[in-house]
């Protein structure tokens, strides 16, 4: 089977807002199969934003599993992420899923992988996918050197990435969570 190439998902926090953005391109080999996929969505009754890079079917399974773990864990993002990572690594069926998951709430940003990793970034920004490094670099520069709002930074980082990475298009989905007191 032809290898499926990635995407770009970025999440960042600034001024009490958590923003996640993703492109809409699904590529199979050297063909764009779809340009308007939604790889970023709200879960957990709107308290969590999640985005994926990797196989679409696998990611949809992970969205469902994460939401299940979130409800079981009394709406704790960290507990849900750790429990998903444990099951993902040890379950015979889930172990074969080929995707990465970014999850965030108003306090935490986490990367969850099938190798059992749950990683929280040092800074308030994280990106995954084939264009993840470009988006991360652009967002860090904007966070460090401008007063732009979170949504504008995410949009600019994704726009820059779509101009560089052939597996990232400019059909973005952007979701925002307001922090407490906002």
Average pLDDT over residues 125-151: 97
Catalytic position from the list 2, 7, 61, 173: 7
pLDDT digit string (tens) for 35-78?
A: 999 999 999 999 999 999 888 878 888 889 999 999 998 899 99
Active site annotation includes 7? yes
What predicted TM-score, i.e. pTM, was given to this entire model? 0.92
| % of the chain beyond a pLDDT of 70 | 96
Strand runs labelled E in the chain: 4-5, 8-14, 17-22, 26-28, 31-34, 40-43, 48-54, 99-104, 109-112, 118-119, 125-129, 173-178
CA distance 173 to 65: 22
CA distance 43 to 33: 26
Residue-level pLDDT at 181: 47
Kindly tell me if the per-residue pLDDT of 4 is higher than 50: no
Residue-level pLDDT at 180: 62
């Amino acid at each position: 089977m032809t290898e499926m190439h990635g995407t770009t998902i970025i999440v960042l926090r600034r001024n009490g807002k958590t923003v996640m953005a993703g492109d809409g391109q699904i590529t199979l080999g050297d063909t764009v199969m779809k340009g308007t996929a939604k790889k970023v969505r709200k879960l957990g009754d709107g308290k969590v934003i999640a985005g994926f890079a990797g196989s679409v079917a696998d990611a949809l399974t992970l969205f469902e599993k994460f939401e299940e773990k979130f409800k079981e864990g009394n709406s704790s993002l960290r507990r849900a992420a750790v429990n998903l990572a444990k099951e993902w690594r040890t379950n015979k069926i889930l172990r074969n899923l080929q995707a990465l998951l970014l999850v965030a709430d108003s306090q935490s940003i986490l990367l969850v992988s099938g190798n059992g990793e749950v990683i929280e970034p040092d800074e308030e920004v994280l990106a995954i996918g084939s264009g993840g490094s470009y988006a991360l670099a652009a967002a860090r520069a904007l966070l460090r050197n401008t007063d732009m709002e979170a949504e504008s930074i995410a949009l600019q980082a994704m726009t820059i990435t779509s101009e560089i990475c052939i597996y990232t298009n400019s059909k973005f989905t952007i979701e925002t969570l307001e922090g407490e007191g906002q």
